[in-house]
A = this chain, B = another copy of it.
């Protein structure tokens, strides 16, 4: 077997990169659990029927078949899930009798898409989702809640690991719908569809589409564009919208809901959440609040964290389950930051101490020291070979292990060269050295 090559679109980390990923996932999990979200994991496969229900994404599905499937064995036509929402909706329906609603879950798993790989776009990647789903109804304050929980999680990555800060862009579909209806437009989705192209084709082109394709007056088209241009990190956007002079009850409802999100977010992390009235996030799915997120300095990655309110996450014909959720593309962020060497771990192993071995006969003594350190929560290895001490120190150095423990009862910080007598029953490394640290260099 010659040296295999990486598969494009299927990123794998070296051990130090994996330590970074683990730290990030641990922090996400910790934050989600602090807020009472329960973990679930769903199987990697769903039926093709359930994966292809939303037509748009079918081209990206990976189909899964047994190599030696029996002739005519077609009952279970399966594909790998391309997100965590379709599996979650299925899980909720399948287990609704055993779940307590509103049901708060987080889910951190790989998903697969047969897309053309490019920076920040992978064929296999990790997503971390939180959703709250109700039975028949779900209070609106959960729209505020999920974005604040996710913001808290992303803010920890910023303050504790040094990742760039995020900006979460929020809009509300009722606001746009009400505004368009207030302008006398019935087919509000058609307007939204065209306004959604603003970043791609520019305001002039969108204005032309609105007047020529949809027959809006120049004035109405201008107002739609004015609405889309409004953005604010506080509730001043409400006055800006009012100033355009359009009125509709749905517009009021949307403005209230969006103002609530922005005001609440400002108290948690000022400036991080902005009302951005051009955000649409697809057309058929979301029905209220929508979220999109940019990572400062990496805006070219697109949205790293998106979601929104859907009035029908799932339905079994009798009961409808509305939900609100938000999903962070962990690999989209880490693939780039780790790949560029911006986000690094201080070592490639969990090990804090290497216990040296004088000679193979005294290995049991070294093992005993290691066991005493581990019993106190200190990750410890024993040198694989009774080599010259220089080589044993090099073993530690290559891996970034900070301390070497010698048979004479001394422990050496191999970075500073400092060496002192120590007792494995009481010696404690500096807190910063106990585990690998993760840090970001701009």
Interface 9-residue window, one of A166-174, A302-310, A347-355: A347-355
CA distance A112 to B399 in the complex (A): 33
Residue A1 is within 8 A (CB to CB) of chain B in the complex: yes
Task: Specify which of B41, B50, B61, B349 is in contact with A67 (CB 8 Å cutoff).
Answer: B61
Residue A13 is within 8 A (CB to CB) of chain B in the complex: yes
Cβ B34 vs Cβ A15 within 8 A: no
Q: Could you tell me which residues of chain A, from 30 to 76, have a CB within 8 Å of some CB in chain B?
A: 33-45, 47-48, 50, 58-69, 76
Cβ B102 vs Cβ A384 within 8 A: yes
Task: Specify which of B15, B58, B79, B378 is in contact with A99 (CB 8 Å cutoff).
Answer: B15
Task: Specify which of B18, B43, B98 is in contact with A41 (CB 8 Å cutoff).
Answer: B18
- Given contacts A3-B93, A38-B350, A58-B67, are A45 and B124 in contact (CB under 8 A)? yes
Closest Cβ of chain B: how far from A439's Cβ, in Å? 18
Closest Cβ of chain B: how far from A92's Cβ, in Å? 10
CA distance A78 to B10 in the complex (A): 12
- Contact residues in B for A58 (Cβ distance below 8 Å): 67-68
A363's nearest neighbour on chain B, judged by CB, is B141
- Contact residues in B for A76 (Cβ distance below 8 Å): 7
A349's nearest neighbour on chain B, judged by CB, is B38
Q: Could you tell me which residues of chain A, from 1 to 36, have a CB within 8 Å of some CB in chain B?
A: 1-7, 10-15, 18-19, 21-22, 33-36
Cβ B2 vs Cβ A381 within 8 A: no
CA distance A96 to B3 in the complex (A): 9
Closest Cβ of chain B: how far from A310's Cβ, in Å? 14
CA distance A349 to B385 in the complex (A): 47
Closest Cβ of chain B: how far from A233's Cβ, in Å? 20
Total interface residues on A, using CB and 8 Å? 89
Q: Could you tell me which residues of chain A, from 356 to 386, have a CB within 8 Å of some CB in chain B?
A: 360, 363, 374, 377-381, 384-385
- Given contacts A34-B380, A50-B4, are A15 and B43 in contact (CB under 8 A)? no
CA distance A45 to B33 in the complex (A): 31
- Contact residues in B for A380 (Cβ distance below 8 Å): 34-36
- Contact residues in B for A124 (Cβ distance below 8 Å): 43-45
- Contact residues in B for A349 (Cβ distance below 8 Å): 36, 38, 104
Task: Specify which of B6, B67, B104 is in contact with A62 (CB 8 Å cutoff).
Answer: B67
Known pairs A44-B44, A48-B67, A66-B114; list 7 more (Cβ under 8 Å): A1-B317, A18-B39, A18-B40, A22-B39, A33-B379, A62-B66, A104-B349
Interface residues, chain A, with chain B CB atoms under 8 Å away: 1-7, 10-15, 18-19, 21-22, 33-45, 47-48, 50, 58-69, 76, 78-80, 90-91, 93-96, 98-100, 102, 104-105, 110, 112, 114, 124, 139, 141-142, 314-317, 348-351, 360, 363, 374, 377-381, 384-385, 395, 398-399
